[in-house]
Amino acid sequence: MTRDEQFMRLALAEAQKAAENGEVPVGCVIVYKDQVIAAGRNRREKGKSALAHAEIAAIRRACRVLGGWRLWECELYVTLEPCPMCAGAILNARIPRVVYGAADEKAGAMGSVFDLFSFPLNHKPEVVSGVCAGESRALLQAFFEKLRQRPKKKWNKNTQPPEQT
């Protein structure tokens, strides 16, 4: 197993925990000098927040651990290609290396829908894609398959609608 696969397995374990909590399974770890210093998983439904993505949770914790907003000696591992918000957070935190698993054709901002780092911004990390992508996709597919088998909840405009796939 490569070094990147080893760390990605830890991110996959976070994704698995998200699935067990009824959340879309995406997990993330942040590595500093070969040590995992922060982990995060998607908890958008339970956390009731548009910001509760795995990468945001992990970046918040890593900033706390290192005592500042610059994570310029860290690597970020995430099971799914980051969305625009998370790619932007990686940019703002000056993370120099990002490793992701499965591509996200609907919302991926590191090559799928567009590539954030193709624009003249003030930071450009190294990006490695496709690490343990099969395992990441399998987790997501199993989650959505289970979701489709559930009876649909009804909702009205005065409450939050049920989760979307």
The C-alpha atoms of residue 46 and residue 42 are separated, in whole angstroms, by 9
Which position has the token pair 């770890």?
29
Map the footprint of a second copy across residues 12-51, applying CB under 8 A: 44-45, 47-51
Write down the least CB distance from residue 9 to a second copy, Å.
26
CB-based contacts of 12, cutoff 8 Å, min separation 6:
27, 79, 101, 132, 135, 136, 139
**Residue 10 binds a second copy, judged by CB under 8 A:** no
Q: What is the largest CA-CA distance in the chain?
A: 50
According to DSSP, residue 141 is labeled H
Is 55 assigned a catalytic role? yes
Length of the chain: 165
Give me the catalytic one of 55, 75, 81, 135: 55
Part of the chain binding a second copy (CB under 8 A), chosen from 29-37, 96-104, 117-125, 135-143: 117-125
> Is the Cβ–Cβ distance between 56 and 34 less than 8 Å?
no
Map the footprint of a second copy across residues 84-103, applying CB under 8 A: 84-89, 91-94
Query: Which residues are known catalytic residues?
Result: 55
Q: Which residues bind a second copy (CB under 8 A)?
A: 44-45, 47-53, 56, 59-60, 63-64, 66-71, 83-89, 91-94, 106-107, 109, 113-114, 116, 119-122, 159-161
